[in-house]
Each structure stands twice: as C-alpha cells, then as structure tokens.
C-alpha cells in the first residue's frame, strides 16, 4: 500500500488488531459473549484480512482470541443462532450469503502467511471459517473442536465441504461433518444409533452431496453452502432443533428425503454410465 495503515483508526468493534513488526495479530474480542460469532465480527475480520493483504508491512497474520472467555470461538451467538436464516426475503434461497463463508474467502485469498492460534474451544464456525482457510493451525491442548451442523438441522458452512476434505481427506471429513460430533463409539451399532438419533435426514443428505460434489473453487462452494444452509434453515428440522434446545429435550426431526428435498437437489449432472448397445 502507498499509505501507511493505522489499524487503531479503522473502527473495529469485535476484534483487536495490533502490528508487531511484520506480524499482524488479530484477536477476537467478545469476552462477554464468550467469543461467539456475532455482532459485526464478520465485517471486522473481512476488513482486517483484506487490509493486511494490501499492507506491505505485513508478512504474516495471526488470528487468536481473548483468553478470558476460555473459548477461541464456540460458534454463533446463541442470541441469534441460525434463526436469521429463516427470515423470509425476496429470492432468499439464492440471495443468501453465509457470513462464515465470506470470512473464509477473505482469509483464503489473503496473500500473506495466515496462522490460526486456537487457544480455546472451537465449535461450528469457530472450527470451519476461523480455522480451515488458514495456511497453518496451532491448537492448544485440551481445546475441543466440533462440527455440529447436521445436528442443528442444517448443513456445514464457511466452505468447509470444500476446504476440509482437502486438508484431511474425504473419509475423515465425512466422519466429522456427517456425524456432527466427536464420537467414541464402543461398537458400530452404538455409532449408528447415535448418528441416526441426532442427525436429520436432509442435513446429512445435503452435507453428503456437498462433500461429493463441491464447487471448482472456494467461491463456488460458498454459493452452494449458502443456498443449502438457507434451504435447511427455513425447514422444520432447524426450527425443531432451536425449540428443543430451549426446552432442554431431544429434538424430533421429521423432514424426509422423499417429501422435503428442494428441486435444486441434485445440482450436478451425473453421466449415464449404462452401456448402450449399438444398433
């Protein structure tokens, strides 16, 4: 950049940004909200990483979190949760843009070295958008990392179906994203019963498809994630999870593949592999 950036003058509300020589340190600063993903944090993070990308003084960027919250980022703010997804709007299905995905793209496209210093529990977007697009990740011993999306009645966000298989392979990504939890089963039947009880059919269906048919770029995967989240967010199962969570009971997921799949699904074209006899 031609002009020298004063990060203190950029008006960040949910993060602290300090430049230490060639290293820019970004700290999630929402201790009263336990460092949840809410407020204007997505706008702050996008601006910070896009500015760092253009700042010639910056050689590396570290994202970490205020330590008093005992969490790096435990997911979305429970005051809003995913309920904002269910708000009706014109062309809502195709117009929705996942905030975590927007942050992930800004981090992924940053041309400086990016490092996530996960100094506490990381759940949901804390495990996806605030980890997966980084060049390096350092996780504190004892920190829990979770991908609960299918158990919330939605599909994964933050382009995680694009990024996670590229980091750890499809099989391990399946085990994290399609079960929605860190499970230590004692037998296959325990595993199957646990997953069947707490993961809705549609969430698993969309998640499985997003993993197998991702976009050709992070931006294309972001568009598919966003549409999937919007479709599932306005469905019964996502609403039922929110109600069950407040009532402290197990959810009763009723959306089904045969009745409730969107016409958008499948969004890919499968080749016809049947052998055709030449006449």
The 10s digit of each residue's pLDDT in 138-160 is 998 888 899 999 999 999 999 99
**Does pLDDT of 275 surpass 80?**
no
| List of residues 6+ apart from 169 with CB closer than 8 A | none
34-80: pLDDT as tens digits: 999 999 999 999 999 999 999 999 999 999 999 998 899 999 887 65
Quickly tell me which residue has 């016809």 as its tokens: 272
- Looking up tokens 């407040």 gives 246
Task: Assess whether pLDDT exceeds 60 at residue 84.
Answer: no
Residue 7 or 89, more confident: 7
Cα separation of 180 and 124, whole Å? 10
The hierarchical CATH code for the domain 1-146 is 3.90.226.10
Place of tokens 């759940």: 123
Instruction: Report the b/e string of 75-86 with b at 16+ CB within 10 A.
Output: bbbeeebbeebe
Give pLDDT, residue 210: 94
As annotated, the residues of the chain forming the CATH 3.90.226.10 domain(s) are 1-146
The backbone torsions φ and ψ at residue 133, rounded to the nearest 5 degrees and listed phi first, read -80, -5
More confident call, 84 vs 34 = 34
pLDDT of residue 183: 40
Residue 8: half-sphere exposure toward Cβ, Cα within 13 Å? 2
Place of tokens 């004892």: 142
Least confident of 117-126, 172-181, 267-276: 267-276
**Is residue 2 very low, low, confident or very high in pLDDT (cuts 50, 70, 90)?**
very low
- Per-residue pLDDT, averaged over 167-192, amounts to 75
pLDDT of the residue at 212 = 87
Residue 19 clears pLDDT 70, i.e. is over it: yes
Mean pLDDT of 235-249: 92
Q: Would you place residue 184 in the very low, low, confident or very high pLDDT band (cuts 50, 70, 90)?
A: very low
Helix axes 99-108 and 218-233, enclosed angle (nearest 10): 170
All residues at 6 or more sequence positions from 136 whose CB lies less than 8 Å from its CB, including other chains: 113, 114, 115, 116
Q: Quick one: pLDDT at residue 33?
A: 93
Q: What is the pTM of this model?
A: 0.80
pLDDT band at 256 (very low <50, low <70, confident <90, very high): confident
- pLDDT number for residue 95: 82
Short-list 156, 135, 130, 159, CA closest to 218: 159
Cα–Cα distance for residue pair 202/257, rounded to 1 Å: 6
Q: In angstroms, what CA-CA distances link 6 with 20, 52, 227, 234, 276?
A: 13, 11, 37, 42, 67
What are the tokens at 130?
A: 């605030």
Mean pLDDT across 216-241: 93
How would you classify the pairing of strands 23-28 and 15-20?
A: antiparallel
Q: How far apart are CA 158 and CA 45, in angstroms?
A: 14
User: What share of the chain in percent tops pLDDT 90?
Assistant: 69
Q: In the prediction, which pLDDT does 16 show?
A: 96
Where residue 190 falls among pLDDT bands split at 50, 70, 90? low
């Amino acid at each position: 950049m031609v002009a020298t950036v004063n990060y203190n003058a950029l008006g960040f509300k949910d993060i602290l940004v300090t430049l230490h020589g060639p290293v820019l340190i970004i700290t999630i600063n929402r201790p009263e909200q336990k460092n949840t993903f809410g407020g204007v944090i997505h706008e702050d993070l996008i601006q910070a990483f896009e500015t760092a990308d253009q700042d010639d003084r910056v050689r590396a960027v570290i994202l970490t979190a205020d330590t008093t919250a005992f969490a790096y980022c435990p997911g979305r703010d429970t005051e809003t949760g995913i309920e904002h997804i269910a708000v009706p709007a014109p062309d809502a299905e195709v117009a929705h843009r996942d905030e975590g995905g927007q942050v992930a793209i800004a981090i992924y496209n940053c041309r400086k070295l990016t490092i996530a210093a996960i100094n506490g529990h990381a759940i949901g977007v804390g495990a996806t958008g605030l980890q997966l697009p980084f060049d390096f990740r350092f996780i504190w011993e004892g920190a829990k990392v979770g991908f609960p999306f299918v158990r919330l009645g939605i599909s994964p966000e933050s382009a995680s179906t694009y990024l996670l298989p590229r980091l750890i392979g499809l099989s391990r990504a399946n085990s994290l994203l399609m079960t929605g939890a860190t499970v230590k089963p004692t037998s296959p039947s325990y595993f199957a019963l646990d997953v069947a009880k707490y993961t809705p059919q549609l969430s698993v269906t969309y998640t499985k498809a997003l993993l197998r048919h991702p976009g050709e770029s992070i931006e294309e995967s972001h568009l598919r994630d966003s549409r999937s989240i919007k479709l599932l967010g306005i469905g019964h199962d996502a609403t039922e999870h929110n109600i069950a969570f407040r009532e402290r009971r197990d959810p009763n997921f009723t959306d089904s593949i045969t009745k409730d799949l969107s016409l958008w699904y499948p969004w890919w074209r499968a080749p016809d592999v049947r052998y055709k006899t030449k006449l």
